[in-house]
């Protein structure tokens, strides 16, 4: 699989699609889990437990490892030799992004489970606290650890693609920050869906608008770098500007996943429309669509234009 995706022989592999929905789902769910860890960890360090809503106090830390596990299951489905996963942990290769990912996950899982335990025991529903609560200073330390793990995980989901330089669309250092911001935006949208407290819901929605704006700026820089790059990079960018991925990218990612949710949030803030689940659902859909279209289009891009 790695040879097919990363191979530079454009005559042998002109536009071979090896990665499908499983990788897109893994990248999306991994980014979503990273965003949940960062946002909940940040809020736990800023606010006392009693000031946080249930969604932020214990539900987000609890969801993060569950969402990550769903993403890992999607990745497991994609593996050709599924029972050789353990081999990732018998060595460490500095130049291999999957080796980095395996060891990042080895840190993220215990940290996220520890955070879930601390948050649940401190702020979980009455009658369900079956463990002793963690002291507040310790919980803040655990929250900080999860912020660091979340950043590493979120950036890694982009580096996994950008390290494959054989595909010019992916050969960009901006994919790491782009996927990190997209994961944060998706996490904020999910928390808006789950949030019952009106004040916190508005705060999270405003945060999501800022994250979408930052994501859009990095996405614009990503395409600007492609359009001002070499012939292969320009050809990769043209897949989204008149090419086969134009319609799905501009409708599913830019319009439905970014522009429309921001507009709906503005209308809600002005009191012109009532709060609905439409905007956050669109953000989540856009985050998944972004990864799906980049995974597929990246495999369609190649260096054959230079031959």
pLDDT in tens, 279-290: 999 999 999 999
Residues 229 and 221: beta-carbon distance below 8 Å: no
- Given a cut of 60, is residue 9 above it in pLDDT? no
- Domain residues for 18? 2-306
* pLDDT grade for 130, boundaries at 50, 70 and 90: very low
Say how many C-beta atoms besides its own lie within 10 A of residue 305's C-beta: 15
Which pLDDT score is estimated for 279? 95
- pLDDT per residue over 18-70, tens digit each? 778 899 999 999 999 999 999 999 998 887 767 888 888 888 999 999 999 99
Token couple for 175 = 């994919």
151 φ, ψ (degrees, to nearest 5)? -65, -45
Which pLDDT score is estimated for 127? 39
Picking from 216, 206, 183, 61, the residue whose alpha carbon sits closest to that of residue 123 is 61
Distances, alpha carbon 295 to alpha carbons 64, 169, 170, 260, 266, in Å: 23, 9, 9, 23, 31
The C-alpha atoms of residue 222 and residue 298 are separated, in whole angstroms, by 13
* pLDDT grade for 2, boundaries at 50, 70 and 90: very low
- Given a cut of 60, is residue 275 above it in pLDDT? yes
Residues 49 and 123: beta-carbon distance below 8 Å: yes
Residues 61 and 132: beta-carbon distance below 8 Å: no
| CATH number, position 54 | 1.20.1630.10
Distances, alpha carbon 109 to alpha carbons 96, 142, 155, in Å: 21, 13, 16
Which pLDDT score is estimated for 92? 62
- pLDDT per residue over 183-213, tens digit each? 999 999 999 999 888 889 999 999 999 999 9
Which pLDDT score is estimated for 3? 42
The SS3 of residue 305 is helix
* pLDDT grade for 120, boundaries at 50, 70 and 90: confident
Helix axes 260-269 and 198-227, enclosed angle (nearest 10): 150
* Sign of torsion over alpha carbons 148, 150, 152, 154: negative
Higher pLDDT, 126 or 267: 267
Nearest-5° Cα angle at 117, 112 to 121? 150
Higher pLDDT, 192 or 93: 192
Give mean pLDDT, residues 167-186. Answer: 95
Higher pLDDT, 225 or 7: 225
What percentage of the chain exceeds 70 in pLDDT?
Answer: 81
Residues 208 and 283: beta-carbon distance below 8 Å: yes
Give mean pLDDT, residues 152-172. Answer: 87
End-to-end CA distance of the chain: 24
User: How large is the greatest C-alpha to C-alpha distance in the chain, in angstroms?
Assistant: 68
Which pLDDT score is estimated for 122? 67
Give mean pLDDT, residues 103-110. Answer: 87
Q: Is the pTM of this model over 0.85?
A: yes
Token couple for 240 = 């989204």
How many domains is the chain built from? 1
Query: What is the separation of C-alpha 41 from the centre of its chain, rounded to a whole number of angstroms?
Result: 16
b (16+ CB within 10 A) / e for 97-135: beebbbebbeebeebbebbbbbbbbbbbeeeeeeeebbe
- Given a cut of 60, is residue 4 above it in pLDDT? no
């Amino acid at each position: 699989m790695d040879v097919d995706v990363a191979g530079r022989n454009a005559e042998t592999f002109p536009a071979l699609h090896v990665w499908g929905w499983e990788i897109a789902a893994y990248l999306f769910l991994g980014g979503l889990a990273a965003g949940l860890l960062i946002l909940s960890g940040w809020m736990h360090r800023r606010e006392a437990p009693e000031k946080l809503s249930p969604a932020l106090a214990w539900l987000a830390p609890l969801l993060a490892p569950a969402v990550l596990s769903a993403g890992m299951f999607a990745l497991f489905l994609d593996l050709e030799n599924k029972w050789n996963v353990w081999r990732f942990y018998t060595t460490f290769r500095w130049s291999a992004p999957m080796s980095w990912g395996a060891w990042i996950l080895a840190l993220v899982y215990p940290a996220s489970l520890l955070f879930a335990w601390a948050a649940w025991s401190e702020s979980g529903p009455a009658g369900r606290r079956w463990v002793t609560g963690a002291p507040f200073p310790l919980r803040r330390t655990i929250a900080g650890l999860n912020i660091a793990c979340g950043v590493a995980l979120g950036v890694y989901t982009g580096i996994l693609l950008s390290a494959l330089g054989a595909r010019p669309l992916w050969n960009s250092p901006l994919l790491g920050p782009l996927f990190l911001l997209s994961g944060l935006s998706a996490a904020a949208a999910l928390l808006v869906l789950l949030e019952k407290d009106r004040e916190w819901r508005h705060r999270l929605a405003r945060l999501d608008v800022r994250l979408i704006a930052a994501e859009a700026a990095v996405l614009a820089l990503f395409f600007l770098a492609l359009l001002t790059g070499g012939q292969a990079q320009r050809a990769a960018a043209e897949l989204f500007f008149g090419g086969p991925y134009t319609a799905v990218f501009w409708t599913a990612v830019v319009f439905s996943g970014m522009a429309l949710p921001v507009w709906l949030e503005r209308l809600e803030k002005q009191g012109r429309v009532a709060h609905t689940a439409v905007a956050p659902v669109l953000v989540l859909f856009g985050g998944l669509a972004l990864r799906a279209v980049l995974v597929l289009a990246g495999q369609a891009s190649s260096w054959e234009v230079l031959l």
